[in-house]
Amino acid sequence: MKRKEFLQSILGASAFMAMPNISFAETPEALPELIKSTEKQTFGSLIGHKATPIKKVRVGIIGLGNRGKVLLKMFKWLVENDHAEIVAFSDLLDQNIKVAEEILAQWQKKKAAIYSKNEEDWKNLAQRDDIDLLLICTPWRLHTPMSVFGMNHGKHVACEVPIAYTLEDNWNIVQTAERTKMHCIMIENCCYNQEEMFVLNMAENGVFGDLTHAEGAYLHDLRAHMLSKDYYQDQWRIKHHITRDGNFYTTHGLGPISFYMNIGRGDTYMHLTSMSSRELNLSETAKRENAPYHNFKCGDMNTTLIKTAKGKSIMLQFDVHTGRPYSRINKLVGTKAVHDGYPSRLYVDDGKLLYWGHNWVDDATYKEYEEKYTHPIIKKLRNISKSYKEGHGGMDFVMIYRLIRCLNLGLPLDINVYDSAIWSAVTPISELSVASNSLSIPFPDFTNGAWKEARQLEVMQNTAI
């Protein structure tokens, strides 16, 4: 039964309704069937979905901690130019509300309505009929319930990463969006970083030839953040590391890679295998610092390998326990070129067969490529606002700008509900694989087969807006 509880925590209880007679002694062999049983009825595809244009997008923000406050600042230019208005805030902590009010007062005359009475007060915000978009920046466990409630009350939803961390919740997000016809997207900012957009534009213009492989990661020493009593509200983040093991933060690496590989637009993930190292760094640091939590299930380094339907491979890593410089790796390999991030380097194959002497392009050539292939959205935003450099070096502004302008104009959003579920579902599937001696686990198809149709990425369309 213990194994059943574990599987339920990852798949969701409904998986077992479809397969009530599963033998728990044999679950590794039965896992592919069990995953299949999580697949749900769909309600009509939202691919290319356009909602009615919204002249001025009225926004309610739930969660104004570290992330919510940064994203709030990204609205300055949009509010000043009448594309958006901040209508309401919800948070549990008075000091966060106070800082958010101070930020808003710098560039919006009208104050935001406040919902901070209790843990359920955000529902009153989500039920207001003068809000078009909910921006959700709360701890992970609240992402799905808040997104689903918002859509059920007629709101478009933009939710922080990951949008869900059980398969059942990912299906719930997809089904609710399809049923309500509301946009529901995960706001994966790294897709909008200058380097990732440059690599994407090169890939789209054939510089890499045919793609074969990519590597991405979230390698970020979060020990100080997670062990601090004050950084995350109620230390929500470290609690995941006590009870779970796998890749909890897939999307900073995988979002851009999925764009490079046209995932959901002609290709998709078929199966993955995942392995975690032993855990040492976080527990040793916790003991040294006399922190209240000492025992962690999550290994220091998780490595996940994903195979796509068209035969491409992806290596994805997750390590927030080890002291080291930050990296998302951002490697892309094709038949004609290779890119590596941290620092950004490019190799372009000139077709000559060499025994040795393969070099990255020199600085001057790299600059030429950069000038030629900087993404048109970045080129445009450079000219309209200094804000294009704000929020994680610019990517947060570019992301919020694209979200609001696409809503203003009734255009499909760059990241859709299927992207959000596919990228997030790597988390529970990695956990299943880690718990089953790195067994290869198949992916459910959130698109109901629609991924087979090759389509142009939305972020390559309407780039002049």
Q: DSSP states of 384-422 as a string? A: H-GGGG-SGGGHHHHHHHHHHHHHHHTPPPSS-HHHHHH
Query: What would the x/- binding string for ligand NAD be over residues 384 to 413, using CB under 6 A?
Result: --------x---------------------
Which of helix, strand or coil describes residue 86? Answer: strand
- How crowded is residue 98: how many other Cβ atoms within 10 Å of its Cβ? 12
Choose which of 7, 79, 92, 104 interacts with ligand NAD (CB under 6 A).
92
**Helices (H), ranges, 293-386:** 363-373, 376-384
Least separation in angstroms between CB 322 and ligand NAD: 19
By CB under 6 A, residue 256 contacts ligand NAD: no
Residue 296 DSSP code: -
Largest CA distance in the chain: 69
CB nearer to ligand NAD: give 249 or 369. Answer: 249
Pick between residue 238 and residue 429 the one whose CB is nearest to ligand NAD. 238
Structure-block tokens of residue 28: 């590794």
Cα 14 to Cα 187: distance, rounded to the nearest angstrom: 27
Write down the least CB distance from residue 456 to ligand NAD, Å.
Answer: 25
When the beta carbons of 312 and 402 are compared against ligand NAD, the nearer one is 402
Phi/psi at 303 (nearest 5 deg)?
-120, 125
CB atoms within 10 A of CB 17: 9
Task: Please tell me the distance from the alpha carbon of residue 73 to that of residue 286, in angstroms, as a whole number.
Answer: 33
Q: Based on CB atoms, which residue is closest to ligand NAD, 28 or 139?
A: 139
Measured CA to CA, the distance from residue 335 to residue 328 in angstroms comes to 22
Based on the shown chain and the rule CB under 6 A, indicate whether residue 90 belongs to the binding site for ligand NAD. Answer: yes
Phi/psi region, residue 437 (left: phi>0; alpha: psi -120 to 50; beta: rest), is: left
Measured CA to CA, the distance from residue 246 to residue 178 in angstroms comes to 29
x-marked contacts with ligand NAD along 47-86 as a string, rule CB under 6 A: ---------------xxxxxxx------------------
Question: Applying CB under 6 A, does 138 fall inside the site for ligand NAD?
Answer: yes
Q: Of 26, 119, 129, 350, which lies in the binding site for ligand NAD, with binding defined by CB under 6 A? A: 119
Interacting residue with ligand NAD among 43, 107, 232, 347 (CB under 6 A) = 232
CA distance 404 to 56: 9
* Cβ nearer to ligand NAD, comparing 308 with 427: 427
Among residues 233, 283, 327, 436, the one that binds ligand NAD under rule CB under 6 A:
233
Q: Is residue 161 within the footprint of ligand NAD (CB under 6 A)?
A: yes
Q: Could you tell me which residues come within 8 angstroms of residue 29 by beta carbon, excluding any fewer than 6 positions away?
A: none
Counting residues that bind ligand NAD (by CB under 6 A) gives: 26
- 108: how many CB neighbours lie within 10 A of its CB? 17
Residues in 183-202 that interact with ligand NAD by CB under 6 A: 189
| Of residues 31 and 400, the one with the C-beta less far from ligand NAD | 400
Write down the least CB distance from residue 300 to ligand NAD, Å: 19
CB-nearest residue to ligand NAD: 65
432 and 31 in contact (C-beta within 8 Å)?
Answer: yes
Indicate whether 96 belongs to the interface with ligand NAD (CB under 6 A). yes
Least separation in angstroms between residue 53's CB and ligand NAD is 27
93 contacts ligand NAD (rule: CB under 6 A): yes
Chain positions contacting ligand NAD, by CB under 6 A: 62-68, 90-93, 96, 119, 122, 137-140, 142, 160-161, 189, 232-233, 236, 392
